[in-house]
Amino acid sequence: MTLAYPDPDTLSQQLRSARERTRLLTRDLEGPQLFGPKLPIVNPVLWELGHVAWFQERWCLRLRADESLSESLLDAADALYDSATVAHETRWDLPLPGRSATLDYQDRVLGRVLTRLEREPDNEWFLYFVQLASFHEDMHAEAFHYTRQTLGYPDPLNGAPAAKAKKLEGDAEIPGGYPVGASRNSGFHFDNEKWVHPVELRPFRIARTAVTNRQFLEFAREGGYRRREWWSDEGWRWKEAVQAAAPRYWAEKDSAWLERRFDKWVKLEDELPVMHVNWHEANAYCRYARRRLPSEAEWEVAASFSGDGARRRYPWGERAGDETPANLGGNGRAPVGAFADGDSFMGCRQMLGNIWEWTSSAFDPYPGFVCDPYREYSEPWFGIHKVLRGGSFATPARLVSNTWRNFYTPDRGDVFAGFRTCALD
């Protein structure tokens, strides 16, 4: 039987690694940058730094067996950092501790969690929450990337991966009739992944790679943002409301197309996957190309199909950690033909890493869904978000697998998301 959680030494390493990445992504921000403008798609950086520590303390140190909470190391911490009760628009106006005090709070909490790990290495109830807190911080690290991109702050990692790319085209033919969802006794999973269940799927054809900048630019040049027939009613209303004429962060100057990467405008690179397009834009492109988005079940089957009846945890098999052949936990997009060693059994490339991929599916619970202790993670968002799969270059490798479900509202173009397409039936 596979252990439910990593061993305490691995969990300790994950906690330290997550904190190092948090610091790396925020260490140069100061003064007004720690707050930024009040926008619905970002948090104030200073608030988010404190929230990460609060979450870790709440679940790993303060939670009692009767679900009550002991006192925090920081006065009024719940009133400052509980995201379930502190309204988003108020987070800029709270009496937050300064940067130094916030980082000190982080350090004190992490130190006590690490000490408890040494003291209680066999306490599975506690180990579950340690893994939860580690993954929660990983997700916020990616959110710091989004904030820096949205607000035009410098690239925190300064560059893109050096990756060889081979041109890859066409569709992979995938058989239907495969189950989806996380298997029991296969490690930590969030509640929305639970549990594996049968899904009726007909055979389908899915693109081997994500849609590129070059392909999406053709759509834009052919009137993609002007032609009503390619847009849903909701998508057209969104486009008209924001006056979109190209993907977010694209601009045409002197007959050349540019995109903004953090604080710099750079030439659009043809073979990078298109990024910062929302669900409406992805669907409009599909109608233009006479294609469609995959359902999340189709996406998962394409990633996990092994040919022998078993399901792969990752597209390439079971390898993880430092051997991950995917653009995860990196510093920028790679061309869609790169990372061939991470191909799925059926030849789909970069199903994990590089960019998140929109699916056609609404974010709904799986059969028999039961909330995990962190109730605010999934249940409040069912039915109003769309599912994305795969992970981006900014996602730590330890966080994602073929069953991992991300979710955003269909108008969100600020996340590191693109898409791949399926052939019409």
Is residue 3 over pLDDT 60? no
Q: Do 320 and 388 lie in a common domain?
A: yes
Q: Tens of pLDDT along 352-404?
A: 999 999 999 999 999 999 999 999 999 999 999 999 999 999 999 999 999 99
> Which helix (H) or strand (E) covers residue 250, if one does?
strand 250-253
Do 91 and 175 fall into the same domain?
no
Q: What does the alpha-carbon distance between residue 107 and residue 425 come to, in Å, rounded to a whole number? A: 55
Q: Tokens at residue 338, please?
A: 């790169």
Q: Please, which pLDDT band fits residue 190 given cuts at 50, 70 and 90?
A: very high
d(CA 250, CA 213): 10
Beta bridge partners of 314: 317
CATH code (residue 195): 3.90.1580.10
Is 3 inside any structural domain?
A: no
Q: Do residues 229 and 315 share a domain?
A: yes
The rounded distance, in Å, linking the Cα atoms of 42 and 37 is 9
Chain CA centroid to CA 266, Å: 24
- pLDDT tier at 163, thresholds 50, 70, 90: confident
Domain that holds residue 73: 8-151
Mean pLDDT of the chain: 95
- How many Å apart are CA 351 and CA 316, to the nearest integer? 10
Rounded Cα distance, 368 and 194, in Å: 8
Residue finishing a domain among 123, 151, 179: 151
| pTM of the predicted model as reported, rounded to 2 decimal places | 0.96
Close Cβ partners of 44 (under 8 Å, ≥ 6 residues apart)? 34, 35, 36, 91, 92, 96
Same-domain status, 218 and 358: yes
